[in-house]
Amino acid sequence: MDIEEVKRRAGPREFGPQDDMPEEYRKAATRMIQFHANSEIMGAYIERPFIRQSPSLERKLAVSAQVQDEIGHGQLLYRAAENLGIKTREQMLDELANGEGKFLNCFHYPLADWYELPMIMFFVDGAAMRRQATLKRTSWEPYAHAIDKICFEEGFHIKHGEDILKELAAGSRRDRQRLQEAFDLWWPRILQFFGPTNDRSTHSDFSSAVGLKTMGNDELRTAFLNVYLPKAEKYGLEVPDTPRIWYDDYEERYRVAEDELDWEEFGLIARNEYPQGAGQIAKRHRTQEAVEWVRESLETPGAPGVTGAAAD
């Protein structure tokens, strides 16, 4: 199958491991799914400290379950990418630990306190759901199947994040002030979640042509904005002046001045050159090294502590 045939046939769940796909498609799909998988893993990393920091047992259990879900999503996606035959799961995990793997902008920033957690669990996960819902119609079938499960579980994550947001918004004056400060900090980052504008996007045209993407960055950003801006206002949050947002009476929807977002900083993040992002990657690298002995033991027949099927 050549790339022109792929473009002609491209449709929801059209291609799978049984198809002889051209290398250009396989590389593009691997890049896209690996990016998604890395983001799930790094999302778990920034949420993990809040298992201990949660203010109640119920919150600890919910955050713990969410972190486990995100790790599981990453594993599903690495397998979907591995089916393309370009990279193994181990190679992709090593690239992430070594700072070569790319992941979403929001996971390059550490979370400082509990007031910032709903910025990820509600707004960022809400943005992710907008994007992932469109990927149920992606042309690579294993990816679409993974998305089915991911979207089901992300729905619970969003509800949990909204419950935290609701609780803080109904709290003391200090709670509301700190929540607003967190929102001021994260709002521009959240709007950049969908990536650069369509005219700046490097891979969007090809991914759309072969059915990997079914909706552009600008359209996804606008769809998110029109659903989540009213939700933010519902909980008493004031939208920052920058970037400028206005209501288009003709189109009956909110619009954002995308040029006012900090695309220079976003570029550093995209190249894994953002200082705080380097710190997040370093955490992943240390964890990778800490459990290396486990992987080596499982791969070495007769190693100390290895019994049963793992030793056979």
DSSP secondary structure, the chain, as one string: --HHHHHHH--TT-B-TTS---HHHHHHHHHHHHHHHHHHHHHHHHHTTHHHH-SSHHHHHHHHHHHHHHHHHHHHHHHHHHTTSS--HHHHHHHHHTT-S---GGGGSPP-SGGGHHIIIIIIHHHHHHHHHHGGG-SBHHHHHHHHHHHHHHHHHHHHHHHHHHHHHTS-HHHHHHHHHHHHHHHHHHHTTT-S-TTT-SSHHHHHHTTS--S-HHHHHHHHHHHHHHHHHHTTPPPPSSS-EEEETTTTEEEE-GGGS-HHHHHHHHTT--HHHHHHHHHHHHHHHHTHHHHHHHHSTT-TT--GGGG-
> Looking at the predicted structure, is the pLDDT value of residue 259 above 60?
yes
| Distance from C-alpha of 209 to C-alpha of 227, rounded to nearest angstrom | 27
Q: Tell me what pLDDT residue 106 has.
A: 94
Q: Tell me what pLDDT residue 34 has.
A: 97
Which tens digit of pLDDT belongs to each residue from 129-168? 999 999 999 999 999 999 999 999 999 999 999 999 999 9
Q: Tell me what pLDDT residue 309 has.
A: 43
> Looking at the predicted structure, is the pLDDT value of residue 16 above 90?
yes
Over range 93-109, report the average pLDDT: 92
> Looking at the predicted structure, is the pLDDT value of residue 270 above 50?
yes
In whole numbers, what is the pLDDT of the chain averaged over residues? 91
Q: Tell me what pLDDT residue 303 has.
A: 59
Q: What percent of the chain has pLDDT over 70?
A: 95
Q: Tell me what pLDDT residue 210 has.
A: 95
Residues 6+ apart with CB under 8 A from 169: 175, 176, 179, 235, 236, 237
Q: Tell me what pLDDT residue 301 has.
A: 67
User: Which domains are assigned to the chain?
Assistant: 3-301 (1.20.1260.10)
Which tens digit of pLDDT belongs to each residue from 62-83? 999 999 999 999 999 999 999 9
| pLDDT confidence band for 205 (50 / 70 / 90) | confident
Q: Tell me what pLDDT residue 312 has.
A: 41
Q: Which of 107-111, 177-181, 201-205 has the highest mean pLDDT?
A: 177-181
Contact between 105 and 192 (Cβ < 8 Å): yes
| 45, 199, 283 from 63: Cα distances, Å | 12, 38, 19
